[in-house]
Amino acid sequence: MLKTNIIALKTLVSKEVRRFMRIWVQTLLPSAISTLLYFLIFGSLIGARIGAMDGIQYIDYIVPGLIMMAVINNAYSNVVGSFYGAKFQHSIEELLVSPASNFIILLGYVVGGTLRGLFVGIIVLLISMLFTSYQIHNLFLMITVVLLTSILFSSAGLVNAIFARNFDDVSFVPTFVLSPLTYLGGVFYSINLLPEFWKTISLANPILYMVNAFRYSFLGVSDINIVPAVSLIIIMTLLMFFSAWYLLGRSVGLRK
C-alpha cells in the first residue's frame, strides 16, 4: 500500500508540474510581465516621487509584496484550475476509486500548486534584481512563510474546486475575494499611513500578515508583530489543508 501511494504521489506531482510547464506562456509568463510592469510603473516612475516607506526605498519596499502576490495567485489558480478540470471531465472519479488514499490525492495537487507558486516567486525575485538590490534579513523565515503560504492557497484552491459547479464559480474567488484582499494587504503601502479606523479594518485581512511576515524576512521591517503573524499563517494553513482533506474524503460535490 505504501508503494502504491508513493507511485501515485509521484505521478500526480509529475502530472501537475508537466501541466503548468507545458503551457508556461499561460502559467508563468503573465506573472513575469505583470511584475515587470509593476516595477516600471510603481517602482521606477511613481516610486521615485513617493520616496521612502518605513525608511526603505519604495521600490525595495514593494518587492516582498509583489513576490507574495504572485505566489498566492499562482498556487491558488493552479490547483483550482487543475482539480476542477478533472472534475468537469469526470476523470476525478477514476482517481477517487483508485488505490491511492485521499491524503495522497490531496498532497499531489497541493505539492503541484506549491511548486508553481514557488516557481513564479523565484521568477519575480529574479526580475526584481534588475531594478533593485537587497540583502535577505532572515532566510529561514522567508522560506517558511512562502512555503506555508503556497500550501495554504493550494489547499484553498482545492476547496474552491470541490464546491465549484461551473467555471464561473472557479473564477469568482480569485476575482472578488483574493484580488481585493491582496491589493489591500499592504503590498504597495504601509498600513501605518491609514487612518486608525481603516488600519483596524486592515488587521482583519489575513493576507496582510503574510505580506508583512515575508517583508520582515527580506527587509527587517513590518507593520505588525511577527510572532502572531507567523502563528496565524501556520494555523490557517493547517485548517485549510485538513478542511480540504475532510471534504475530499466526504466526496462533497464530487460524485453525482
Tell me the three cell numbers of residue 86.
478533472
Q: Which of 81-85, 169-173, 227-231 has the lowest mean pLDDT?
A: 169-173
Give the span between the Cα atoms of 205 and 188, in whole angstroms: 15
**% the chain with pLDDT above 70:** 98
Angle ∠(179,199,74) on CA atoms, nearest 5: 20
The ranges assigned to domains in the chain are 2-250
Range 167-173 contact pairs with CB under 8 angstroms and sequence separation of 24 or more:
167/84, 167/88, 170/80, 170/81, 170/84, 173/76, 173/80
Q: Which residue has better confidence, 111 or 98?
A: 111
Give the span between the Cα atoms of 82 and 91, in whole angstroms: 11
Q: pLDDT tens for residues 11-59?
A: 999 999 999 999 999 999 998 999 889 888 877 777 777 777 878 888 8
Q: pLDDT tens for residues 190-243?
A: 898 889 888 899 999 999 999 999 999 999 999 999 999 999 999 999 999 999
Give the pLDDT score at 249: 84
Q: Binning pLDDT at 50, 70 and 90, where does residue 158 land?
A: very high
Burial of 64 (0-12, 13-18, 19+ CB in 10 A): buried
